[in-house]
Amino acid sequence: MALLKLAAFSDWSWWRVSLPILIFVGFNIAYIVSGFGYLSFAEARKTSSWDEGNALEQHHSPLYWISMLFFVAFADNVVRYLDGTEDSYWFWGLSGRLEAVFVFASLSMVGLFLYWSAIARTLIESE
């Protein structure tokens, strides 16, 4: 995408070109922040083995993938908002409006919060 931009084959903004990297980095930051946030306030007892929790996390539940999908929609809306020129009226969720940005950011964080709560609940039940 960057080569196409530099070769002047496309008129994308640099925000659009860097969107895949922004999605990867941003979702991992949201994942870590929501994990620390949930686990710092949750009343999860210490487990006897860290490997149990690590093994649980390796099998991502549908909540993880749904949260990632919401984050992709959030990042796309942020880029559309920053560009200011790309409006998509065929689907409101990809309109680039501030309402869509906040809705998808909230849905992504709620999904990650539920994902971490499922991991903590499984760890507590396995004791």
Contacts of 81 (CB under 8 A, 6+ apart): 96, 97, 98, 101
- The answer as to whether 12 is a domain residue is no
- The answer as to whether 9 is a domain residue is no
- The answer as to whether 28 is a domain residue is yes
Rounded distance between C-alpha atoms, residue 53 and residue 49, angstroms: 8
10 Å Cβ neighbour count for 37?
A: 14
How many Cα neighbours within 13 Å face the side chain of 72? Answer: 7
Question: Burial of 69 by CB count in 10 Å (0-12 exposed, 13-18 middle, 19+ buried)?
Answer: middle
pTM of the predicted model as reported, rounded to 2 decimal places: 0.75
- The answer as to whether 1 is a domain residue is no
Q: What is the pLDDT of residue 68?
A: 94
- The answer as to whether 93 is a domain residue is yes
pLDDT 10s digits, 21-54: 999 999 999 999 998 888 887 765 554 455 555 5
- The answer as to whether 10 is a domain residue is no
Q: How many domains does the chain have?
A: 1
Tokens representing 54 are: 């690590």
Lowest mean pLDDT among 3-17, 48-62, 65-79, 85-99: 48-62
Contacts of 117 (CB under 8 A, 6+ apart): 38, 42
pLDDT 10s digits, 55-72: 555 566 889 999 999 999
Residue-number span of the structural domain to which 115 is assigned? 18-125
What is the percent of the chain with per-residue pLDDT over 70, rounded to a whole number?
65
- The answer as to whether 2 is a domain residue is no
- The answer as to whether 8 is a domain residue is no
